[in-house]
Structure 1
Amino acid sequence: MRIEVSAVGAGDLVSFRCSAGAGAGVWKSEDPPVAGQEYEVEVDVDDEVSPQSGGVAGVRLDGTSVVLGGTWLVTEDGATYLEVAGSPVSVEVADGDTVLSGEVVEVVADRAAVHLFPCDA
């Protein structure tokens, strides 16, 4: 996912903008992020999530949480991810939750659980 870092806070927490909206997460690189700089990142949610059917595709902030909306996909080996604006976001579904592959869903995660791994930093 292509993002522009809009602010850098304590604990490697960054706010960002992308074509899908605005979000926040923890920067996972030895090289510090620079506000105003664009980066290509892989996004992982390091927490079990409970996808909710429906919603709006994109990224938005809701208090201290990040809401990610997109198409829920399940690979043949059972791995799950959310496709947000054409970019895969790695997620792990909470026990007992079942969502069909191809369904449009929203997941809510704490900002600290959203990890940003720069690919070109």
Structure 2
Amino acid sequence: IFRLFSVRKNKQNIKTNPNMTTLRPFTCDDMYKFNNVNLDPLTETYGISFYMQYLAHWPEYFQVAESPSGEIMGYIMGKAEGIGENWHGHVTALTVSPDFRRLGLAATLMSFLEDISEKKRAY
């Protein structure tokens, strides 16, 4: 688990403090918490079985960014695939809730997936 940003909502805007957002593995319970992210028209959504397939086969590639209050700010979903020299990490979905954009969360989630892929030699 990584702590990255603290996010506070106030009447005017969202403020950040770089110490308290948590990156953690996606869980089955998160399926009921990420509507704020998936309702964005720029986000591709899938059926529950698709998410569960990724969670079952590539759990280490499925991470969420969570606020101190427990709200899901964004997530990344990926996998490792290919054969031999074509073995590589693949980003299936990367999205951040509109309320939490411009904080560097997508870049942080992407770096996490790159690190996991490196460890698994999926270049």
Say yes or no: TM over 0.5: no
Would you tell me which structure has more strand in proportion to its own residues? 1
More helix by share: 2
Larger Rg: 2
Higher RCO structure (Cα 8 Å, ≥6 apart): 1
In the superposition, the TM-score normalised over structure 2's length comes to 0.25
Please give the TM-score of this superposition, normalised by the length of structure 1: 0.25
